[in-house]
Structure 1
Amino acid sequence: MKINLTTTIFKDEKKETVETVEQFSNDHGVEMKVVNLYPEVEYQTFDGFGAAITEAAGYTYSLMSKENKKKIVDAYFGENGIRYNMVRTHIDSCDFSLGQYEAMDDPTDTDLKTFSLDRDEKYIIPLLKHAEKIADNNLQVMLSPWSPPSFMKTNEQRVQGGALKPEYRQFWADYICKYIKEYRQKGFKVNMITIQNEPDATQTWDSCVYTAEQEKEFLKDYLYPTLLKNDLDDIQVNIWDHNKERMYERATAMIDEVTDKMIHGVAFHWYTGDHFEAIQLVRDMFPKKKLIHTEGCVEYSRLSDAGQLENAQMYAHDIIGNINAGMNAFIDWNLILNKQGGPNHVGNYCDAPIMCDTDNDTVKENLSFTYIGHFSRYIQPGAIRIASTKYSDKIEVVSLKNPDKTITIVLLNRSNEELPVSVRINGKITSFNVTAQSILTGVITE
């Protein structure tokens, strides 16, 4: 038995990735500096990784040369890239759009005859098609609304929160189903939706507020019956789609004997901190539900002073903590952005793992891209998290058993000291060092 090790370090603003191989030998009672793996103790299944194809990402992509378009999509979705298998995109406009827009804005058009995806066709769909092709037609697609059309809102506008008018709940359910069906007709495997992005936030951009009672009533009495009516019973509906710290409250308020069959999972974001215990609470209370991270990014408004290493470590720390707490999938925010961190119609700029200089046609892979790849390249869709123990809080560990029987272990060392590790599994042991300020992925094979 052996372990193939891939280590990435970042020093003096330079990245270095080193690959080595270590052999296992019989365990003769090593007790110190140990990380234990227990493949027989299984937890949740992990479905994969992905990112959002926003209009901002699609517009940025459209300005790049043919060669760089291919480079970007290969890097994310190709076999030699970081192997994303999921995409999230928005129903109508979001903050990372060029401006506000709606597929239909006529209150009298209850048959949705004027409904059009022309705006999506311009920037989102070309990038999505390219990703689908490179991923060998194996992408799962999630749709999320930031706001219903303005005429359906209590404040008569897409921005500044507001709520869905009760008299438009059926119209909005029909609209969402129309969006799903139109995307499916274009050949995309839309199999997931969230009911509302950040339903507890009033934003200067596209937003809409739902209480737990309102979200539950909309799902139970309007959205779910309309999905069934449109033969969309295979759509996986995810609730909440907001920060972790309140996901338990929303889940317990919405999931009951009636709605249990309607709710596939709970979606969450990372913007208010770790809250890994919140994920664990939902996992313990609702063991059959999917728990999906649907958005996270390095916001310039809060984290502009952070360096590449800190940003990358933030991703790794969150992914490890989330998986260990019960997460089933991790979807990042924007796939790519321009050098400003946009475009964004309200100036809400942020970082992305790949940034593009559209003026000079150059592509920059941030360290966060490499760190995410330490998970997504080696954790296969369908992998099962297994139990592990560690000897120190200076090292963060997660391990999964892949469908091909290999075992992936990721170790994050955010300390300034090199940490020795002896990995023990099934009566075998191997030892190596985890470099200071590094991430290491090991793949164990027979």
Structure 2
Amino acid sequence: MKKQKYKILCFLFSLTAFSQQQKNKQEFITNGKKIAVYTTADDTKLRLTPTDNLVFSTSSQPTETEISVFVESKKTFQTFMGVGGAITDASAEIYAKLSKEKQQEFLNAYYDKQKGIGYSLLRTTIHSSDFSSESYTYIQEGDKDLKTFSIEHDKKYRIPMIKEAIKTAGGKLTLYAAPWSPPAFMKSNKDMLKGGTLLPEFYQAWANYYTKFVKAYEKEGMPIWGISTQNEPMATQTWESCIYTADAERDFIKNYLGPTMKKEGLADKKIIVWDHNRDLMNQRANVIYSDPEAAKYVWGMGFHWYETWTGGAPMFDNVRKVYEAYPDKKLMFTEGCIERFDAAKYQFWANAERYGTSMINDFNNGTVAWTDWNILLDQNGGPNHVGNFCFAPIHANTNTGELIYTPSYYYIGHFSKFIELNAKRVSTAVSRSSLLSTSFLNTNGKMVTIVMNHTDKSVIYNLIVDTAKTVVTIPAHGIQTLVY
């Protein structure tokens, strides 16, 4: 009798599990769904503003003269991991100068999903970068045994701000960190600035340095999700920088960083390679990923958007080619900002469109996460100890205490506010080059489609999802998020 009861219970449990599985596999349906439209556009007051509530009707064959966005809900790709920005020393120093009210407004603007745009990612630096008021490390110069290691410097500005960001985000942010340079004594040029390479006799000491950083930050209550080997390893900059060829980065990870992280109980922390522009990312992937002993330690590849410094166009296809060649490795946009600060261009719309264009293309090419650079800078585009002043989505005027929201903030928000963690990217295409588009299916069953119009004219377009259709108008130089 007991055996029979047990069999019945097992059968019922299996049936429940099967029906739950089927429920989870349910196809996305448009029938009866309303489409909420949110719009931001140049020469208007629209900023993430609800502008329409639409319904679907049955779609028929679109004509060649119509402009259409096509979403095929059954074709899904990578899982979304988040959007965010970097808390640098510069951001933290400026944040500390704000009034308590402005600090709360700022935190809500980035990290609160209802009041702001809901950032879920946070990048920070391992000791100083150019966006610090000075160069510094966590040890006394020459201390190869790291006996003097201390993150005391970061406790003044950066750590308190990171903790407040995590709290505002609901207690959890995906936090990762990158070094700009090893300490001067560990380098061939004996200088944290202007490139140079890591000297072989300090490979182990430098690998130990990462583990000490991770443990020190985690002791302060800030879980570290991952680290990258080196910020921009092929650029000799006037600021903190260090050169690694693809072979050098591969060997450092294979022989030192990977094994050391594992030995120190940090094997679950993700290691990001490259962390530089799209131009050379394919070669870096080929060299590191083709070595199984190095590749086993690597979560994926980080990349930036500054390959346009040569005057050329962004190399979006390179992202797709890495995604196609190495589908088991992840892709993460780890840094981008508008260079050459100019206060007259706070509201320069092309800056925002650079964000929209990059985010749509990068996601469509397989990227799982997208991280902006400084989340806050002052009215001079700093502080920056080598004068490399840049834009942030939000600036603070430290003379007046006001916050200045740039269009870039709202363009980023069209993604970060509506796409939920663990959403799946969905096949999306456009019929005309006047529009760009991407879509994600949230785990709650809501589809999010982002459409961007970078032309001087408003565009009427069909949104065709599977066999359903609605008609939408997007203003000139506008971006829309459609939730349905």
User: Could you say which TM-score interval applies, normalised by the shorter chain?
Assistant: over 0.9
CA distance in 1 between partners of 2:345 and 2:393 (Å): 17
1:419 — aligned with what?
459
Per-residue CA distance 1:67-88 (angstroms, 9 max, x = gap): 0111111110012211111111
Any conservation in 1 of the 2:42–2:476 contact (CA below 8 Å)? no
5 Å matches for 1:216-235? 216-235=250-269
Per-residue CA distance 1:245-267 (angstroms, 9 max, x = gap): 11011010111222221110100
- Among residues 344, 353, 358, which one is paired with 2:393 in the alignment? 353
**Normalising by the residue count of structure 2, what TM-score does the alignment of the two structures yield?**
0.89
SS at 2:384's partner residue? coil
CA distance in 1 between partners of 2:132 and 2:337 (Å): 16
- Among residues 14, 23, 26, which one is paired with 2:55 in the alignment? 23
Q: Which runs of 5+ in 1 are unaligned?
A: none
Any conservation in 2 of the 1:416–1:437 contact (CA below 8 Å)? yes
Shift of 1:271: 0.8
In structure 1, give the amino acid aligned to 2:305: W
- Among residues 317, 322, 335, which one is paired with 2:375 in the alignment? 335
Shift of 1:2: 1.7
Query: Which of these two proteins has the greater Rg computed from alpha carbons?
Result: 2
CA distance in 2 between partners of 1:126 and 1:406 (Å): 35
Report the CA distance shift for 1:5/1:108 in structure 2 as closer, same or farther (over 3 A): closer
Any conservation in 1 of the 2:337–2:372 contact (CA below 8 Å)? yes
CA distance in 2 between partners of 1:53 and 1:28 (Å): 49
CA distance in 1 between partners of 2:345 and 2:405 (Å): 19
Deviates more, 1:302-311 or 1:345-354: 302-311
CA distance in 1 between partners of 2:105 and 2:221 (Å): 23
Any conservation in 2 of the 1:308–1:368 contact (CA below 8 Å)? no
Shift of 1:106: 4.1
SS at 1:84's partner residue? coil
Shift of 1:389: 2.2
Deviates more, 1:20-29 or 1:368-377: 20-29
1:147 — aligned with what?
181
Residue 308 (1) aligns with residue 373 (2): no
In structure 1, give the amino acid aligned to 2:301: V
Per-residue CA distance 1:68-125 (angstroms, 9 max, x = gap): 1111111100122111111111011000001000100343451x22111111111110
Shift of 1:33: 2.4
In structure 2, give the amino acid aligned to 1:113: K
CA distance in 2 between partners of 1:254 and 1:109 (Å): 28
Any conservation in 2 of the 1:105–1:150 contact (CA below 8 Å)? no
Aligned alpha-carbon RMSD (Å): 1.6
CA distance in 1 between partners of 2:346 and 2:172 (Å): 35
2:432 — aligned with what?
392
2:481 — aligned with what?
441
**Normalising by the residue count of structure 1, what TM-score does the alignment of the two structures yield?**
0.96
SS at 1:433's partner residue? strand
CA distance in 2 between partners of 1:113 and 1:264 (Å): 30
CA distance in 1 between partners of 2:97 and 2:82 (Å): 29
Residue 271 (1) aligns with residue 306 (2): yes
In structure 2, give the amino acid aligned to 1:84: Y
In structure 1, give the amino acid aligned to 2:75: V
1:86 — aligned with what?
121
SS at 1:190's partner residue? coil
Residue 292 (1) aligns with residue 332 (2): yes
Residue 4 (1) aligns with residue 44 (2): no
CA distance in 1 between partners of 2:193 and 2:144 (Å): 22
In structure 2, give the amino acid aligned to 1:161: G
Report the CA distance shift for 1:200/1:71 in structure 2 as closer, same or farther (over 3 A): same
CA distance in 2 between partners of 1:7 and 1:59 (Å): 33
CA distance in 2 between partners of 1:388 and 1:89 (Å): 33
Shift of 1:36: 1.3
Q: Equivalent pairs: percent with the same residue? A: 37
CA distance in 2 between partners of 1:258 and 1:304 (Å): 51
CA distance in 2 between partners of 1:123 and 1:296 (Å): 23
CA distance in 2 between partners of 1:140 and 1:218 (Å): 25
Residue 207 (1) aligns with residue 225 (2): no
Aligned residues: 442
SS at 1:171's partner residue? helix
- Among residues 440, 444, 447, which one is paired with 1:404 in the alignment? 444
SS at 1:183's partner residue? helix
Report the CA distance shift for 1:108/1:58 in structure 2 as closer, same or farther (over 3 A): closer
Residue 168 (1) aligns with residue 235 (2): no
CA distance in 2 between partners of 1:334 and 1:27 (Å): 44
SS at 2:328's partner residue? coil
1:383 — aligned with what?
423
SS at 2:444's partner residue? coil
CA distance in 1 between partners of 2:260 and 2:175 (Å): 20
SS at 1:272's partner residue? helix
Any conservation in 1 of the 2:434–2:455 contact (CA below 8 Å)? yes
2:76 — aligned with what?
42
Per-residue CA distance 1:8-65 (angstroms, 9 max, x = gap): 11217x5553421000012244443222110111111110001000000000000000
SS at 1:196's partner residue? coil
Deviates more, 1:300-309 or 1:403-412: 300-309
Residue 326 (1) aligns with residue 349 (2): no
5 Å matches for 1:50-89? 50-80=84-114, 81-89=116-124
SS at 1:267's partner residue? strand
CA distance in 1 between partners of 2:166 and 2:50 (Å): 31
Any conservation in 1 of the 2:393–2:409 contact (CA below 8 Å)? yes
CA distance in 1 between partners of 2:343 and 2:228 (Å): 27
Any conservation in 2 of the 1:105–1:149 contact (CA below 8 Å)? no
CA distance in 2 between partners of 1:438 and 1:79 (Å): 22
Any conservation in 2 of the 1:383–1:400 contact (CA below 8 Å)? yes
CA distance in 1 between partners of 2:285 and 2:329 (Å): 10
In structure 2, give the amino acid aligned to 1:129: K
In structure 2, give the amino acid aligned to 1:407: M
2:171 — aligned with what?
137
CA distance in 1 between partners of 2:316 and 2:369 (Å): 14
Any conservation in 2 of the 1:105–1:151 contact (CA below 8 Å)? no
SS at 2:248's partner residue? helix
Report the CA distance shift for 1:304/1:262 in structure 2 as closer, same or farther (over 3 A): farther
Larger strand share, 1 or 2: 1
1:95 — aligned with what?
130
Per-residue CA distance 1:388-420 (angstroms, 9 max, x = gap): 221100101111111111111111101111211
SS at 2:349's partner residue? helix
Report the CA distance shift for 1:18/1:406 in structure 2 as closer, same or farther (over 3 A): closer
CA distance in 2 between partners of 1:122 and 1:236 (Å): 27
Any conservation in 2 of the 1:86–1:141 contact (CA below 8 Å)? yes
